[in-house]
Amino acid sequence: MKNENRRKNLYALVFGCACALTLLLAAEGMVRALVPRITAQGLDQDLFCDSLFAASPGWCPGSAGVCFGKTVRIDQNGYRAIAAPDNTSVSWLLLGDSVTFGIAVETDGTFAGMLQRAHPDAAIRNSAVVAYKTVDYHAILPRLLSRHGDAARVILFYTLNDIYNRDQSQVKTEIKNPIMSLLRKHSRLYVFLKSAISDRSKAYFTNDYRRYDDGHLDDIDTTAAMISSMNARLDSAGIDFLVVLLPYEYQIRKADRPALRRPQRLMHSRLTGLGVPCIDLFDDLRNACPRSKDCYLYGDGIHFSAKGHRAVFEAVEKQLALP
């Protein structure tokens, strides 16, 4: 009798697990079919190298792998590979983090790829790396300039979290945690539920917004000073420099609340006061995407969709065309 009960319990357990798995797979399929905008997350660990530029990490030169659902190639310099024309006489250097790298967007659909097509006489070097901060841009610039003596322009794409000191621990934890890595890379249902439970875009913005209050003015001044130092180096070398301030989705969504624009306004004021060429793309993104979430990845308040990349490209092109 005991053996019979055990078998029945085992069968019930197996049947229950099979039903649960079937429901999960069905839900996963429905999410993929009904919400195709959801992309995979996470990146292959083999893409990431420690201390590529002294203390700053970067992409492993010559590597390839999956980054947020897209196969990316890293060229021999450690940049996201872009099909640059042969025999170009000058290069442009792009500085930034995962936003500039263009996670979850095909290379040709990123603003870096669009800049390359619009300027075939220049080789666009996208040196952006996930989790880079201003301290990294400041640290790697001398090495980039020594590597590319033909550099004619440097564009820094600044996001609000660039004010932090660099901390790669979170990135490495997410890469090495097998369960989280599996869910982020393969389950659209996981991304859907995470976004449905909480407003991730608001959470990202609220967290970073605090770093621009009156209690962190020293951090703002320190960040602006590093960028000003970069500008001085480039100016002395006769290289054009432009800082592009990028908005978060929540700011665009709440465009009727001007107080939320304080971070970019503070940085714009500090940088222009120091003589650094600087533009704020808030109005450009708001005009391009009346429905703010269309310019950003699903459930992501920071990284741009293909439409957002197009809007950034057009805004930068407009600025570069000015006399």
Ordered DSSP codes for 116-164: HHH-TTEEEEE---TT--HHHHHHHHHHHHHH-TTEEEEEEEE-GGGGS
Looking at residue 172, what is its pLDDT? 43
**Residue 39 domain flag:** no
**Domain ranges, residue 298:** 45-320
> How many structural domains are present in the chain?
2
Short-list 238, 92, 73, CA closest to 154 = 92
Looking at residue 67, what is its pLDDT? 86
Looking at residue 251, what is its pLDDT? 98
Looking at residue 197, what is its pLDDT? 80
Domain check: are 128 and 75 in the same one? yes
**Residue 140 domain flag:** yes
Looking at residue 82, what is its pLDDT? 94
Domain check: are 95 and 3 in the same one? no
Q: What is the CATH number of the domain that holds 53?
A: 3.40.50.1110
Domain check: are 189 and 268 in the same one? yes
Domain check: are 21 and 55 in the same one? no
**Residue 18 domain flag:** yes
Domain check: are 103 and 209 in the same one? yes
**Residue 288 domain flag:** yes
Domain check: are 15 and 111 in the same one? no
Looking at residue 314, what is its pLDDT? 98
Looking at residue 50, what is its pLDDT? 73
Domain check: are 170 and 307 in the same one? yes
Q: Cα separation of 307 and 294, whole Å?
A: 7
Domain check: are 244 and 294 in the same one? yes
Domain check: are 246 and 312 in the same one? yes
Domain check: are 26 and 56 in the same one? no
Looking at residue 85, what is its pLDDT? 79
**Residue 40 domain flag:** no
Would you state the structure tokens that stand for residue 65, as one six-digit string? 């792998």
Residues with pLDDT less than 50, the chain: 168-175
Q: Cα separation of 2 and 111, whole Å?
A: 68
Give me the sign of the Cα torsion angle 270, 272, 276, 277: positive
**Residue 230 domain flag:** yes
Domain check: are 148 and 6 in the same one? no
Domain check: are 175 and 287 in the same one? yes
